[in-house]
Copies of this chain bind each other. A is one copy, B any other.
């Protein structure tokens, strides 16, 4: 098995199992990896033989500890590169993912070490996702979606997951800019729309928009 293939499978299993080694099934994997389920069956069998996953026939697959370690390392590489592309080379957050998808496979520990060093050993990438350290430890963040914040709670806008011009214009109009401190005033029961206070003004935000705004709880 090619190392790039292994890495892509492990990474995808890691993401689908949300870090906590939940069992993932072949269809999920096939969808994410853009192959047919039969291909996945073949692959997970091989990964099982390599002791990187535990694959139980007709049931599902989960990472072993060594598979998990490897996955964490790939995620680290990906996010270090994303941070580097954004912070050092001036790429936009919407551009970095695709390039990092290729760069993550360059395996040279010293390279990642140097990049991390130059960036001041960041714990979060430009999307707010945590960067595992060299040992695979992930710093817990208090970044959540605005839609998850409870009434009366305070938070600060840290980013967005939708980079469309229309959405960004909408935010600008309501002065919902990065770094803005906000307080949740009310959450409408019937449509989950939110009224929040920002710069002393009331702003109403649809639940759809709230799904796309990343905030840090305070």
Contact = CB atoms under 8 A, between A and B. Distances in A.
Interface size class for chain A? Answer: 10 to 19
A109 to B, nearest CB: 11
A115 interface: yes
A89 interface: yes
Interface string A63-99: 0000000000000000000000100111100010001
A94 to B, nearest CB: 13
A118 interface: yes
Contacts of A89: 111, 114-115, 118
A180 interface: no
A111 B99 contact: yes
13 contacts: A85-B111, A88-B118, A89-B111, A89-B114, A89-B115, A89-B118, A90-B114, A91-B110, A99-B106, A102-B106, A102-B108, A103-B103, A103-B106
Interface of A: 85, 88-91, 95, 99, 102-103, 106, 108, 110-111, 114-115, 118
Given A99-B108, A103-B106, 10 more contacts: A89-B111, A89-B114, A89-B115, A89-B118, A91-B110, A91-B114, A99-B111, A102-B106, A102-B108, A103-B103
